[in-house]
Amino acid sequence: MAAKNLALRAALGLSVVVVASFRAPARSLRGMGPKRSRYFAGGGDAAAKPPKARKAAPAAKKAAAKAKKTTTTPAAEKAAASPAKRAKFVPLSPPDGWRRQWAMCVELRKDRTAVVDSMGCGELTDPASPAVDRHYQILVSLMLSSQTRDTANAATMRVLLDRGLSVSRILDDTPPAEFEAILKAGAIGMYRGKTTYVYETSRKIRDDHGGAVPETYDGLVALKGVGPKMAILQLQHAFGRIEGISVDTHVHRISNQLGWTGGDTGKNPEKTRRAIESWIPKAEWKHINYIFVGLGQEVQTEKAKLTRKALASSDPPYALALLGTLGVDAAAVAKKEGLDLPA
């Protein structure tokens, strides 16, 4: 029995030595950096950075990313573009010479022969329809016009008007797939998304507004697929209310080229709108869009016609110089005509 106890004690003593020799290297790892300490119980950073803290980091990052995302939703962008927000913009001083520039732009557009003059969204309604349906027709034409040529939009609207275009006609008698096919055949940009927007907006108009298009800015921008530019034009063309300047690509580009925005506003039409609304007299707001849109269209596709109008204007050298600012090769025309352009 004594012999067994001695053997047991000897075995236990040996196991302690083995365990001690096995754990000894772990003590030498305590000085190693955090990259190693995460794998060893005795690491020096184990207390400073427990596993729970490291596991919580991805969740925190995910929450932060979600919070950041929610601040840039279309609804937030629309809210930032509301009249109340626009009122906080620091007004600019009117640029020197703007009245002369504006007067010449109006003179160059007095013939009203640009595409927008006959195919603009305000022109694409059925005059025999009730007012409530005409208001809806204007809204649909505005929704379809984004990223689409005026000629394509006008042709597609004629197809829809011939079928009868109203909230009930769309929701009750026109399957979405059929509506989408019409948009696709008419070369309407982003036709799938616009189909979804038109149906969602039509349902909201029926369910929340008694079948009539909202007559307020906030009510309009709350509709799916309707932004500030569309809302302002809708209020003007459907209800005769001027609540802002509608800034599309032409208005955005020309306003910056003329130096009306106080600096380059990049690709942000809302910055341009806030800038020019801050100093342009409100009596001119309703004219800005159709003057600049038509002028921009002619600069892009009808330069020869535009230069002829400039030569026939009340001040040909100034008119050509203005067109030169907008991207027309006015110097070549002036040289051919023997005109000296003003600085």
Are residues 189 and 304 located together in one domain of the fold? no
pLDDT of residue 270: 93
| Arithmetic mean of pLDDT, 75-100 | 69
Q: Are 232 and 217 in contact (CB under 8 A)?
A: yes
What's the CATH code of the domain at 129? 1.10.340.30
pLDDT of residue 334: 82
| Arithmetic mean of pLDDT, 270-286 | 96
pLDDT of residue 239: 97
| Arithmetic mean of pLDDT, 46-75 | 45
pLDDT band at 196 (very low <50, low <70, confident <90, very high): very high
pLDDT of residue 83: 53
Are residues 216 and 252 located together in one domain of the fold? no
Are residues 290 and 316 located together in one domain of the fold? yes
Expressed as residue numbers, the domain containing 313 is 83-112+245-337
pLDDT of residue 59: 54
pLDDT of residue 190: 96
CA distances to 25, 38, 59, 100, 267 from 35, in Å: 17, 6, 21, 70, 45
Are residues 238 and 119 located together in one domain of the fold? yes
Are residues 172 and 208 located together in one domain of the fold? yes
| Arithmetic mean of pLDDT, 205-216 | 98
Residue 44 lies in a domain: no
| Arithmetic mean of pLDDT, 186-190 | 96
Catalytic residues: 229
pLDDT of residue 339: 82
| Arithmetic mean of pLDDT, 180-201 | 97
Are residues 228 and 292 located together in one domain of the fold? no
**Better-scored residue on pLDDT, 218 or 82:** 218
Would you say residue 279 has pLDDT above 60?
yes
pLDDT band at 121 (very low <50, low <70, confident <90, very high): very high
pLDDT of residue 336: 85
The mean pLDDT value of the chain amounts to 82
The mean-pLDDT minimum among 78-87, 109-118, 149-158, 220-229 falls in: 78-87
pLDDT of residue 85: 52
| Arithmetic mean of pLDDT, 251-276 | 94
| Arithmetic mean of pLDDT, 21-30 | 40
pLDDT of residue 280: 98
Are residues 146 and 193 located together in one domain of the fold? yes
Are residues 186 and 306 located together in one domain of the fold? no
Of 6, 158, 108, give the one whose Cα is nearest residue 323. Answer: 108
Residue 289 lies in a domain: yes
Residue 62 lies in a domain: no
Are residues 122 and 164 located together in one domain of the fold? yes
**Better-scored residue on pLDDT, 55 or 172:** 172
Residue 25 lies in a domain: no
Would you say residue 333 has pLDDT above 90?
no
| Arithmetic mean of pLDDT, 101-124 | 96
Residue by residue, what is the 3-state secondary structure of the chain?
CHHHHHHHHHHHHHHHHHHHHHHHHHHCCCCCCHHHHCCCCCCCCCCCCCHHHHHHHHHHHHHHHHHHHHCCCHHHHHHHCCHHHHCCCCCCCCCCCHHHHHHHHHHHCCCCCCHHHHHCHHHCCCCCCCHHHHHHHHHHHHHHHCCCCHHHHHHHHHHHHHHCCCHHHHHHHCCHHHHHHHHHHCCCCCHHHHHHHHHHHHHHHHHHCCCCCCCCHHHHHCCCCCCHHHHHHHHHHHHCCCCCCCCCHHHHHHHHHCCCCCCCCCCCHHHHHHHHHCCCCHHHHHHHHHHHHHHHHHHHHCHHHHHHHHHCCCCHHHHHHHHHHCCCCHHHHHHHHCCCCCC
State what percent of residues in the chain have pLDDT above 90.
Answer: 67
pLDDT band at 271 (very low <50, low <70, confident <90, very high): very high
**Paired tokens of 283:** 């009596």
